[in-house]
Structure 1
Amino acid sequence: MKIFTFKVKPNSKQQSIAEQPDGSLTIHLKSPPVEGKANQELIMLLAKKFKVPKSAIGIKSGISSKNKLVEVAIEPATSISP
C-alpha cells in the first residue's frame, strides 16, 4: 500500500495530473464536485494511471475537500510521474 496526497481541481476543461514546483501533485478533473462524481473520476483516473483495479484505490480523507489523502494498493517499485 502506498499513500499519496493530491490537490484535486474539479470542473477543469481537461483531465490531467500535474507536478507542482514544490513536488506536490495536482489532479484536474472534468467532473463537478457533486454527488461524488469528482471522487469517482479521481478513482478511475488513478486506477488507469497505476494499472490497478478501482477497488485497489481508496480515499482515506478529504472526501468533500480539494485536498485528498489516497491509498493505492500497488507494488513499492511503481512510481507516479505526470
Structure 2
Amino acid sequence: MDDDRAGGAAIIPYSAFADHVRLTVRLTPNASRDGVDGAEQSADGDIFLKARVTAVPEDGKANKALIQLLAKALRVPKSSISFVSGETARKKILRIEGEPEDLISKLEALITSAR
C-alpha cells in the first residue's frame, strides 16, 4: 500500500490479528454530535481514528457511547468491542472481535467516508 501522506492516503490506525483487529482511537467527549472524523497522525507519530460522542466522560458514559457508535458504523455487535487500554484516557485501544479481513474493509470504508 502506498503511504503518500501529502495525498491523504494510507494512514491506518489499526492492526490485524488472527481473530480480531486492534483499533487506536482518540475520543472527544461532550461533542455537539456523534461521529467519526477519519484517521490522523499526531506530531509524535501516533496514528489514531478520531471519534466524538455527545456523552460526558463520567461513569464510562463516553466509552459506552464510543462502543455504540463503532458497533453501528462497523455493523458488529457491541459485545464484540472491548477495551485493551485507555478506558480513562482520551487515547484508547479497542479490540474488535471478528474476521480481520472483513473488519479491515469496514474500517477502510469508515475512514474513507469520514475524509
Using the size of structure 1 for normalisation, the TM-score is 0.90
1:32 maps to 56
Structure 2 spans left out of the alignment, 5+ residues? 1-19, 42-46
How many residues are treated as equivalent by the alignment? 82
SS at match of 1:72: strand
Between structures 1 and 2, the one with greater helix share? 2
Question: Could you say what the CA RMSD is over the residues aligned between the two structures, in angstroms?
Answer: 1.4
Runs of 4+ in structure 1 over 4 Å off: none
Q: 1:20: how far off?
A: 4.2
Q: Where in structure 1 are there 5+ consecutive unaligned residues?
A: none
Identity of aligned residues (%): 32
RCO higher in structure (CA 8 A, sep ≥6): 1
CA apart distance, 1:74: 2.6
Q: Does 1:43 align with 2:72?
A: no
Structure having the higher Rg: 2
* TM-score w.r.t. length of structure 2: 0.66
Residue in structure 2 matched with residue 10 of structure 1 by the alignment? 29
